[in-house]
Chains A and B, each alone.
Chain A
Amino acid sequence: MKTLTLKETSQRYLVEIDQAALAQEPTLLETGGRPVAVLIPTAEYNAFRTWLTMRQAPAAPVEFQREVTAFEHLKPTLQEHHPGRVVAIHGGQVIAIGDDKMAVLDDVTAKFGPIPCYIEWVEPETPRRARISSAWVAQ
């Protein structure tokens, strides 16, 4: 890792920055022989932000995660019998089927009340993708 030393001065000073090196590897900034900060390439910073977001996101409750695992286990059979549809999984079983996630949630709530369940599309690639571009800037 490259190290840049910062010195306090009453005059304006210039730190020589090798842009190519900055884009390739972390650069340590130190003052008085002590490290104060690290400059990292943008790609690494973005990866760090992604990791941070993941770390801050609430963990899935155990019962919910159990239903997700059950869905993954049932997926080959579901793709055979209910391709393109939405299923609700509770207790490891399919308890509702429909064509819209919120309609399936309605169905589940009406039949069983507010129970933990996993609602997902029966598609080869799940979950579906989504983008929230304003959050990119804010993060």
Chain B
Amino acid sequence: MIAYDMRYAPPAPIASVVVANAVQKRRHRSAPALLDTGSDITAIPRSLASTLQLYPIGQIRLEDVQAQTLKVLTYAVHLTVADLSIPRLEVILTGLNHVVLGRDVLNRLYVLLNGPEAVFDVRTTPLASTQAPPAPG
């Protein structure tokens, strides 16, 4: 199990990921990544794109809190999280200093969030059940 990052308020599940240029994989960096089930797509820091010398491959329309959309460029990266390696993943850039792991990645993983104990786990294989739910009645 991995401890929640207490520097976030409220504390957040932050995993470590490795992001590489999808074509030239020797260009890679590790980065903290927020597990965000509310995000449709994964995003990486803008500074990382510059370091990895990424080139755009497409566009998406990013919807904001007001449901207004903004066309942004997308990039292809090789992303590794836990024991999952995704050779090509379409991502966008943000001004944040961490990666945002969206459902495009999280839906390929087993994720356990244990909020009360501020720990989480993320794997490609089923997680051992911590406790069976109580029988009804």
**Closest Cβ–Cβ distance, residue B88 to chain A (whole Å):** 4
Q: Per-residue CB proximity of B78-104 to A under 8 Å, as 1/0? A: 000000000011101111100010100
B136, CB-defined interface residue at 8 Å: no
Contact A129 B60 (CB under 8 A): yes
Max chain B Cβ within 10 angstroms of own Cβ: one of A114, A116, A119, A130: A130
**Closest Cβ–Cβ distance, residue B45 to chain A (whole Å):** 11
A122, CB-defined interface residue at 8 Å: no
- Give every chain A residue within 8 A of B90 (Cβ-Cβ): 101-102
Contact A117 B62 (CB under 8 A): no
- Measured in the bound complex, the distance between the Cα atoms of B58 and A106 in whole Å is 14
A132, CB-defined interface residue at 8 Å: yes
Contact A127 B100 (CB under 8 A): no
Contact A127 B60 (CB under 8 A): yes
Contact A58 B66 (CB under 8 A): no
Contact B100 A46 (CB under 8 A): no
Q: Which residues of A from 115 to 139 have beta carbons under 8 Å from B?
A: 116-120, 127-136, 138-139
Interface residue stretch chosen among A5-13, A31-39, A49-57: A49-57
Contact B100 A130 (CB under 8 A): no
**Closest Cβ–Cβ distance, residue B41 to chain A (whole Å):** 4
Q: Which residues of B from 37 to 94 have beta carbons under 8 Å from A?
A: 38-41, 43, 46, 49, 55-66, 68-73, 76, 88-90, 92-94
Contact B88 A50 (CB under 8 A): no
B5, CB-defined interface residue at 8 Å: no
Contact B100 A135 (CB under 8 A): yes
Contact A130 B57 (CB under 8 A): no
B2, CB-defined interface residue at 8 Å: no
**Closest Cβ–Cβ distance, residue A54 to chain B (whole Å):** 6
Given known contacts A106-B88, A119-B57, A120-B59, is B64 in contact with A56 (CB within 8 Å)? no
Q: Per-residue CB proximity of A10-28 to B under 8 Å, as 1/0? A: 0000000000000000000
- Which of B43, B57, B59 contacts A135 (CB under 8 A)? B43
Q: Per-residue CB proximity of B9-50 to A under 8 Å, as 1/0? A: 000000000000011100000000010101111010010010
Residues of B within 8 A of A (CB): 22-24, 34, 36, 38-41, 43, 46, 49, 55-66, 68-73, 76, 88-90, 92-96, 100, 102
| A-B complex: 3 closest residue pairs judged by Cβ atoms | A133-B38, A102-B88, A127-B59
